[in-house]
Chains A and B, each alone.
Chain A
Amino acid sequence: MPAVSFDHVSRHFGAVKAVDDVILDIAEGEFFAMLGPSGSGKTTCLRLIAGFERPTGGDIRIFGEPVADLPPYKRQVNTVFQDYALFPHLNVRDNVAYGLMIAGRGKRERHAEAEAALEMVRLGGYGSRKPSELSGGQRQRVALARALVNKPRVLLLDEPLGALDLKLREQMQEELKTLQRQLGITFVFVTHDQGEALSMADRVAVFNDGKIIQVGSPEDIYFRPEVPFVADFVGSSNVLPEALVARLTGETCPAAIRPERLRLTSEGPLKARVTGLSFLGLSTRVSFDAEGTRLTALLPQDVARPREGDEVALSWAPEDLHLMRAGA
C-alpha cells in the first residue's frame, strides 16, 4: 500500500490551476522529492497531504485512508515548514514537546522525549533557549525534531533548506538523508533546487504548471528526461529543437545532450560559434550559438579552451544524444 496516493487530484483557485489532475503514488519508506520552479504546484501538493488545502477534485489517500474530510490535526503526518514556524513564546524544549503536550502526555515524559529528539538532531542541551537565540541551521533542526518527535508516518518538508547557506545546506542534506534511512519514515520533500532533489531523493517528481511532468529515479530524470522541460530544468541540458535533430539523425523529435558530453572537434556534425566562456573551477563553461540554437558545454580544464568568436565544430557519442517526446 502506498504511503500517499493522489488519484486525479486537482486544486484550483478560481481560474488558477495550482494542482491539475495529479496522479501519484509515494511508497512507504521512500525519500520522495517534488521538484519544480516556483508556482509549479509542488508546495500545494504538500499542503494537500498535510491538510492545509482541500482538493477541488480527486481523491487523496494516506496509507489507504481517504483524507479529504480529515483536518490537519487528525492526520498522521507532520510538516517541517519553510520558515520553520517555531513558536516564539515557547522555549526549544516546549516547542519540540508541543505535539506531545497536545496529545495529553505528562510533563516529565514529554520533556524526556523532546530532549531525546533534540539529541537526535544534535541539539542536546539547547532545550531552555528561545528560538530567537538560535541560528538558522539550529532552528531548522528544532523544526525537524518537533515534527519527528510525534513519530509521523509521513514527514513533509517544505523547502526546509532554502534559508541556509550553501555549506550548511550540503551538511543538512547528508544529515536528512541519514536520518531518513535510520528512521525509515516516508519523507516527502519539496524543493526548487535540482541538485538537492537529485542528491537526496530515491525518486523525484518534476512539476510544471500544476502537473507532474516526469517521475523517476534521479538517474532517470537526469540522464533520460522525457521532455525538453525536464532536460532544461533538472539538468540544464542542451535541448536540440526538432528541426536540428531531424537534420542530424532523421528523427522528428527534440533531443537532449548533457553539457559535459559535448566535445569540441575540428570536424563534427554541428558547426557553432563560441559566444562566451566562464571559469567554474573544475571545468570551463563554454556557450555556443549553433545554427541559432544556444548550447553550452562543460570542458575539463586539461582541454584546450577556445576563444570567444571562434568557429568550431561540436561532436558527441551517438548514445549521448537522448531523444525526447515533444511537448511540455
Chain B
Amino acid sequence: MTVVQTTPSAQAGPSDGLLTRVSDTLWRRPTLLLLILLTPPALWLGIIYLGSLFALLLQSFFSIDHFTGLINHEVTLATYAELFTPANFDIIRRTVGMATIVTLASAVIAFPIAYYAARYAKGAWRALFYLGIMMPLWSSYLVKVYAWKLILAKEGILTWIFEGLHLTWLLDAYLALPVIGGNSLSVSPTGTFLVFVYVWLPYMVLPIQAALERVPGSMLEASGDLGATPAQTFRHVLLPLALPGVIAGSIFTFSLTLGDYIIPQIIGTSRLFIGQAVYQHQGIAGNIPLAAAFAVVPIVIMGVYLWIAKRMGAFDAL
C-alpha cells in the first residue's frame, strides 16, 4: 500500500497572513467581491442622488395655496397645468429654443475641430490641442462668463473692434434686429447664445473626437475608392459613424443649457430661462411645487430627445 503523502496545504495555511486569506476568499467568491465594490456607489447613487431627485419630483405633484403660500400635500396635476400658462410656457419655449440652437451651433463648430484633432494632430500638437480645448474647463465658469460680459458690453472689446474697422453701423444694424438684438450684445439673446456656445463647446468636441478616432482612415479611403466625393463620404460614412459622438455631445450641451441659470442672468435679457424660473420659484417665491415641475421639463425633453435619436438609428454604429 502506498502512503498518500499530504503535501503542506497551499490553501489557507497557518503561515498565511490575514490579507492573503481575505484575497483567497474573494478570489473564490467573485460575487462577494462585486458586492463589496458596488454597494457603496449603489447606495450613493440610489439614496443620495436619485432619491433626492425623486423627492423633488414628488413635490411637483403637490400644489401651493396662493393665499397662504403653504404647500397643499394633495396629489394633483394642477402644478403641471400651470406650466402651460402663457408666461410659463414662454419660458420653456425660450429655453428649449436656445438649447436647440446652442447645440446645433456647437456641433457645427466642434465637428471640424474634433475631426482635425482626431485625424491630423500628432504628438506635441495633439497635446496642445487637448490643452486648448480643456483649458477653458479648468478656470471658473463665472470668471469666463464675466470675461465675456467685458467682451460683449457696450463699451467692450467687440464694440471697440467694430469701431476700429468702421463697422459700427453693422453692429448697430444687427442689434436693431427683433428677437436676437438688444441694447448691446451683452444684454441681447445673441450674447447669451455666444456665451453658451463658448462655455459648452468642449463638451461637444471631446465626444465627437472620441467617436472620430474610432473611424479607421481606410474607411474614408474605401468610400472615396468606391466613387464617393468628400461630401458624399461625409454624408454616408463619416457622419453616421460620428453620430453617437454628436448625440453624446448634444446631450451635454442641450441639457446643460436647459438647466443653466447663471449665464442668462449675467448676459442676456431680463426674460427668464427654465433654470432661473426654478431658482426664483424655490427661493424667493417659495413655490417648490412649480419649481419641481419646471425641473421635470428638461428631464422629459431629454428623454424624448434620446428616444427620437435611437429611433432614427443614431446608435446603430455603436
A residues near B (Cβ < 8 Å) are 50-52, 71-73, 77-79, 81-83, 85-89, 98-99, 101-103, 146-147, 150
Contacts and interface: CB of A to CB of B under 8 A. Distances in A.
Given A73-B227, A150-B227, A79 B241 contact: no
Contacts of A81: 218, 221-222
Interface in B7-49: none
B163 interface: no
A146 B226 contact: yes
Contacts of A71: 224
A79 B225 contact: yes
Chain B interface size, as a band, is 10 to 19
A48 B6 CA distance: 71
A50 B226 CA distance: 10
B225 to A, nearest CB: 5
Contacts of A147: 225-226
Which A-B residue pairs are the 9 nearest by beta carbons? A99-B226, A85-B222, A85-B218, A72-B224, A89-B317, A102-B227, A102-B228, A89-B240, A79-B225
Contacts of A73: 224-229
B296 interface: no
Contacts of A85: 216, 218-219, 221-222
Interface in B203-242: 216, 218-219, 221-229, 232, 236-237, 240-241
A267 to B, nearest CB: 58
A130 B168 CA distance: 57
**Which of A73, A83, A147 lies at the interface centre, i.e. has the most chain B CB atoms within 10 A of its CB?**
A73
Nearest to B218: A85
B248 to A, nearest CB: 16
Contacts of B240: 89
B239 to A, nearest CB: 10
A85 B221 CA distance: 9
A150 B225 CA distance: 10
Nearest to B313: A89
A102 B232 contact: yes
A79 B222 CA distance: 7
20 contacts: A52-B224, A71-B224, A72-B224, A73-B225, A73-B226, A73-B227, A78-B225, A81-B222, A85-B218, A85-B219, A85-B221, A87-B222, A87-B237, A89-B240, A98-B236, A99-B227, A102-B226, A102-B227, A102-B232, A150-B227
